[in-house]
Amino acid sequence: MRLTYQDIKEQHLRYINEVGTTNTDLLADFNTNLGQRYQLVLAKLNNYKTVKPYSFSTANNTQLYPFPPGLVTIEGGYITIGSVNYPLQPILSRNNILQLNAIQIQASAVPQFYFIEQDSFQVWPIPQATYTGVIYYHFRDRNLSVDDFSTGTITVTNGSAIVENADAVFTSSMVGRWLTVTDTTVQGQGYWYRITGFTDTTHVTLGTNSGVASSWAFATATPAAYRIGETPELPEELHTILSWGTAADFYGGMQKDPDSAELYDNLFWTGNAKNKNRVEGTPEITGGLLGAINLYNDRDDRRIVRRKPRLNPLQYKVWATELSQ
């Protein structure tokens, strides 16, 4: 079940018996702990669910390019020439990239490899023209902080990715959040769609991080109650563990209740209030964060199999020169 920031906060307040509180200290403690737990989960769960594309353009005689915000590591990419995407392969040794950069004669060349720096990446051969490219990267999402929005009603149209709100209350900051119809009389109620475009205060567009439109798959509905919320960029079954984590931090911090802190921390890690195991890869653990690590470990995640490509500079010079002509 997909949960929004507001859902997680309300769930947390139920766990600590503070439903409806306006205590600023409690709410600030929740926000701090939620951010820390969310970033911990993102760091532990490096798989296809935490990968998204980033488009960039090369520049003439420029080798170094900045990371997009929130990048953890690159998992691959490609350079586009005409209608063909040519894959970029990783160089994992600084010694290898230094050897390639020491070659003093370079013809017009198309990038074939990338090398990761601390906050940027090099490509080689050094491009001598402008090309478009995409890298796929594991990302750290920004912390959640915005309550749900549900002012007015919307129109959703079968086969269309455009959502209309006649009250003209949409904003550009809603891009990246998720929308669901809450009217139980509407077909498709409860399914979530990502907002990827803002046209004006009356219209937003539904889609995916990869740029594919997500058309409303159900019958046209107007007017329809709805809500828009920030949700974690995690598999939906992991959303609820965040409130377990924040409850553990509350009881271990502000409340000074170690027994309750341990109970909720066990839930966060294993899904079992009595299981104190914290060892990744334990097959008996099927819940919590450790269970999710096991579950998603074997799924396709776009990772490149050929981790140590054999470099042949002259071969790639010839290939790139001929391709560029």
pLDDT digits (tens, 9 = 90+) for 124-146: 999 888 999 999 998 889 999 99
Coil, strand or helix: which one is 4? Answer: coil
Distance CA 79, CA 110 (A): 8
pLDDT in tens, 189-216: 999 999 999 999 999 999 998 788 999 9
- Higher-confidence residue of 123 and 210: namely 123
Kindly list the structural domains of the chain, giving each domain's residue range(s) and its CATH number in brackets, ordered by start. 50-141+305-324 (no CATH), 152-229 (2.40.30)
| Type of residue numbered 183 | D
pLDDT in tens, 76-113: 999 998 888 999 999 999 999 999 888 877 655 788 99
The torsion angles phi and psi of 100, rounded to 5 degrees, stand at -65, -40
| Type of residue numbered 103 | I
Sheet containing 113-116: which strands, arranged edge to edge?
51-57, 132-139, 71-81, 84-90, 113-116, 120-124, 64-66
State yes or no: pLDDT of 317 exceeds 70. no
**With a threshold of 0.75, does the pTM exceed it?**
yes
Long-range pairs, 298-306, Cβ under 8 A, ≥24: 299/47, 299/48, 300/48, 301/46, 301/47, 301/48, 301/51, 301/75, 302/48, 302/51, 302/75, 302/76, 302/136, 303/75, 303/76, 304/75, 304/76, 304/89, 304/90, 306/89
Band of pLDDT at residue 16, cut at 50, 70 and 90: very high
What mean pLDDT is predicted for residues 164-176?
96
Tell me what pLDDT residue 298 has.
62
State yes or no: pLDDT of 308 exceeds 70. no
